[in-house]
């Protein structure tokens, strides 16, 4: 039995956050010149870059779908993104996360508009601090919009978990490693449609419902940040301010 | 003032006026693309980015990327490659072109002006050659996102008219964002620089005036040496 580490002190978490508080989020749109759409996102100490290419001709040819575009999603952690060097390349974990993330976008991307084509999404983690897949989904959402891919909505994502018996929002690495449960979700904020949900660890039914509510509320906050990042990019004021700098 | 929208933004309840870049769900119109909302005529979203999709009647600049008898494979800067049949060349009979000599007429990397004749559900694209514009000698190609093309043309062609006059160049703008410029070397330098500037600042207002100013000051500076 693992010794329990004190993660909550005086009603605050180790990094000073309350139970329902997100880590700070920073979003920058269109950071890569060669990609059709891109986004750099920070969620606390997570640093992630997402790039979208396409729709373009799908290779290999046999993987084409005559009726709709095929979405390829690659979640990848840089070797230097973790405490101990990560062996580069896809592994069991990243293959699974790639699949889950790709499916989180299934209900929104209007794939039928581009038969036979391929849309490629690359999510690269430069630095990780738990909740990387949620940061990746948030960044990929913006990169997809930036690439001009027709979508029904923007997907927002966040994790909830349980530490020292309390349900808290957006675990960091210490909390994730020493906590009792971690549950990342992805959803469409406007319609409250959940497009991905995973859980690691145990929660009671009551805790699950409380966590879900917490995460859904946070997704609305994240959605507003995503939207603002995209809108301000094309604000005239923004451009002129940039010139002044 | 324009309104930037992102996918999923509510636009209107008039589903009958829903146009490009939108979708209808439960009796409401939402944006399906990241772009600028427009309510003139139909409710639509003018995208800020995205790939060119060929549609019938478009005149575009293609690049030959392959030869597979009796077709040339043509890249249109879109997700789908198109095919140009040998019979599209005028003044040449089918018998004159044989398996091995197609590259004598059009070779890989050659540019052609083509008209999209048909696009079917499987995105098979039929082309016709437009031979009135020569794209081989004494000019250069500038590529911009196709979404910026209307800006380079300007309202009623105001921008392009000014560019042609002040840059002293022949300029041909194709729907897929490829632009052919022909003129003296430094005129072409200026024209391509300005076109890229327009594409970069396409979302700002008063652009035509600013570009005119820029061109005039550039000329003056040059005269001064």
- The pLDDT of A98-112, averaged and rounded, is 98
Looking at residue B93, what is its pLDDT?
Answer: 65
Looking at residue B94, what is its pLDDT?
Answer: 64
pLDDT at A1 over 60: no
Boundaries of CATH 2.40.50.140 in chain B? 59-129
**Within an 8 Å CB–CB cutoff, is residue B32 touching chain A?**
yes
Tell me which chain B residues have a C-beta less than 8 angstroms from the C-beta of A65: none
Given A57, A151, A190, which is nearest B79 (Cβ)? A57
| Mean pLDDT over the full length of chain A | 94
| B3-47 under CATH 1.10.3720.10, yes or no | no
CA dist A185 and B90 (Å) reads 60
Looking at residue B95, what is its pLDDT?
Answer: 67
Share of chain A above pLDDT 70, in %: 95
pLDDT at A241 over 70: no
CA dist A150 and B34 (Å) reads 8
- The ipTM value here is 0.90
Asked whether A18 and A12 are in contact (CB, 8 A), the reply is yes
Looking at residue B2, what is its pLDDT?
Answer: 76
**CA A153, B147, B4 angle in degrees (round to 5)?**
45
Q: What is the 3-state secondary structure (H, E, C) of chain A?
A: CCCCCCCEECCEECCCCCCCCCCCEEEEECCCCCCCEEEEEEECCEEEEEEEEEEEECCCHHHCCCCCCEEEEEEEECHHHCCCCCCCCCCHHHHHHHHHHHHHCCCCECHHHCCCEEEEEEEEEEECCCCHHHHHHHHHHHHHHHCCCCECCCEEEEEEEEECCEEEECCCHHHHHHCCEEEEEEEECCCCEEEEECCEECCCHHHHHHHHHHHHHHHHHHHHHHHHHHHHHCCHHHHHHHHHC
- The pLDDT of A187-215, averaged and rounded, is 97
Residue A91 makes CB contacts below 8 A (sequence gap 6+) with none
Looking at residue A237, what is its pLDDT?
Answer: 47
pLDDT at A95 over 80: yes
Class of domain B139-224: alpha beta
Backbone dihedral angles phi then psi of residue B107, each to the nearest 5 degrees: -110, 170
CATH number for B59-129 (one of 3.30.390.50, 2.40.50.140, 3.30.70.1380, 1.10.760.10): it is 2.40.50.140
**Spatial strand order in the sheet of B178-182:** B139-143, B178-182, B170-173
Given A115, A116, A145, which is nearest B6 (Cβ)? A145
Tell me which chain A residues have a C-beta less than 8 angstroms from the C-beta of B176: none
| Alpha-carbon radius of gyration of chain B | 21
Residue with tokens 């600049």: B61
pLDDT tens, position by position, A142-153? 999 999 999 999
pLDDT tens, position by position, A22-79? 999 999 999 999 999 999 999 999 999 999 998 999 989 999 999 999 999 999 999 9
Boundaries of CATH 3.30.1370.10 in chain B? 139-224
Domains and CATH numbers, chain A: 18-240 (3.30.230.70)
Asked whether B179 and B156 are in contact (CB, 8 A), the reply is no
pLDDT tens, position by position, B168-214? 999 999 999 999 999 999 999 999 999 999 998 888 888 888 998 88
- Nearest alpha-carbon partner for B147 in B33, B11, B8, B22: B33
Q: How many residues are there in chain B?
A: 225
Q: How many CB pairs under 8 A join A and B?
A: 87
pLDDT at B137 over 90: no
Is it true that the peptide bond before A55 is cis, omega within 30 degrees of 0? yes
Confidence band of A242 (pLDDT split at 50, 70, 90): very low
Looking at residue B225, what is its pLDDT?
Answer: 65
Given A54, A117, A153, which is nearest B7 (Cβ)? A153
DSSP bridge partners of B178: B143
Tell me which chain A residues have a C-beta less than 8 angstroms from the C-beta of B51: 36, 54-56, 148
Boundaries of CATH 2.40.50.100 in chain B? 3-47
Chain-chain contact of B6 with A108 (C-beta, under 8 angstroms): no
pLDDT tens, position by position, B22-70? 999 999 999 999 999 998 889 999 999 999 999 999 999 999 999 988 8
Looking at residue B117, what is its pLDDT?
Answer: 94
**CA A129, A177, A94 angle in degrees (round to 5)?**
60
CA dist B188 and B153 (Å) reads 17
pTM: 0.92
Share of chain B above pLDDT 90, in %: 67
Backbone dihedral angles phi then psi of residue B51, each to the nearest 5 degrees: -90, 150
DSSP bridge partners of A182: A161, A200
pLDDT at A239 over 80: no
Looking at residue A235, what is its pLDDT?
Answer: 73
Confidence band of B155 (pLDDT split at 50, 70, 90): confident
pLDDT at A244 over 60: no
Tokens at A25, concatenated = 């989020």
Looking at residue A233, what is its pLDDT?
Answer: 87
Rank A111-125, B95-109, B134-148 by mean pLDDT and report only the highest.
A111-125
Task: Tell me how close the Cα of A105 comes to any Cα of chain B, in angstroms.
Answer: 13
Query: What single DSSP character describes residue B48?
Result: S
The backbone region for B8, taken as left when phi is positive above 0, alpha when psi lies in -120 to 50, beta otherwise, is left
């Amino acid at each position: 039995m693992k010794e329990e580490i004190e993660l909550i002190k005086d009603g605050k978490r180790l990094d000073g956050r309350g139970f329902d508080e997100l880590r700070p989020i920073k979003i920058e749109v269109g950071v890569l010149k060669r990609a059709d759409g891109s986004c750099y996102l920070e969620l606390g100490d997570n640093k992630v870059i997402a790039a979208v290419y396409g729709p373009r001709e799908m290779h290999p040819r046999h993987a084409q779908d005559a009726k709709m575009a095929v979405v390829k999603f690659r979640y990848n952690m840089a070797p230097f993104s973790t405490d101990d060097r990560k062996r580069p390349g896809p592994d069991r974990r990243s293959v699974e996360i790639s699949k889950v993330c790709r499916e989180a976008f299934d209900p929104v991307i209007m794939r039928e508009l581009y038969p036979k084509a391929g849309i490629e999404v690359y999510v690269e983690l430069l630095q990780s601090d738990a909740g990387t897949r949620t940061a990746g989904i948030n960044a990929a959402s913006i990169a997809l919009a930036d690439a001009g891919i027709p979508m029904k909505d923007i997907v927002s994502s966040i994790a909830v978990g349980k530490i020292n018996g309390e349900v808290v929002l957006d675990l960091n690495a210490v909390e994730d490693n020493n906590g009792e449960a971690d549950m990342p979700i992805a959803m469409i904020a406007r319609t409250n449609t959940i497009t991905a949900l995973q859980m690691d660890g145990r929660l009671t039914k009551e805790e699950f419902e409380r966590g879900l509510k917490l995460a859904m509320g946070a997704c609305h906050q994240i959605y507003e940040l995503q939207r603002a990042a995209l809108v301000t990019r094309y604000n005239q004021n923004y451009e002129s301010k940039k010139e002044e700098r | 003032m324009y309104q930037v929208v992102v996918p999923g933004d509510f636009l209107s309840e008039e589903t009958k006026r829903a146009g490009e870049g939108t979708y209808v769900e439960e009796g409401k119109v939402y944006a399906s693309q990241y772009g600028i909302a427009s309510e003139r005529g139909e409710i639509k979203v003018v995208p800020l980015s995205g790939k060119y999709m060929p549609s019938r009647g478009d005149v575009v600049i293609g690049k030959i990327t392959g030869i597979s008898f009796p077709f040339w494979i043509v890249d249109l800067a879109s997700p789908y490659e198109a095919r140009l049949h040998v019979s599209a060349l005028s003044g040449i009979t089918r018998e004159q072109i044989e398996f091995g000599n197609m590259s004598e007429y059009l070779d890989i990397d050659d540019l052609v002006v083509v008209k999209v004749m048909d696009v079917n559900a499987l995105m098979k694209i039929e082309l016709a050659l437009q031979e009135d514009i020569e794209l081989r000698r004494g000019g250069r190609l500038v590529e911009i996102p196709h979404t910026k093309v209307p800006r380079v043309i300007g309202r009623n062609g105001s921008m392009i008219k000014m560019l042609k006059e002040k840059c002293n160049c022949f300029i041909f703008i194709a729907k897929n964002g490829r632009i052919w410029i022909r003129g003296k070397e430094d005129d072409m330098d200026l024209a391509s620089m300005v076109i890229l500037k327009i594409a970069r600042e396409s979302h700002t207002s008063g652009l035509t005036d600013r570009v005119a100013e820029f061109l005039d000051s550039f000329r003056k500076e040059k005269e001064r040496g």
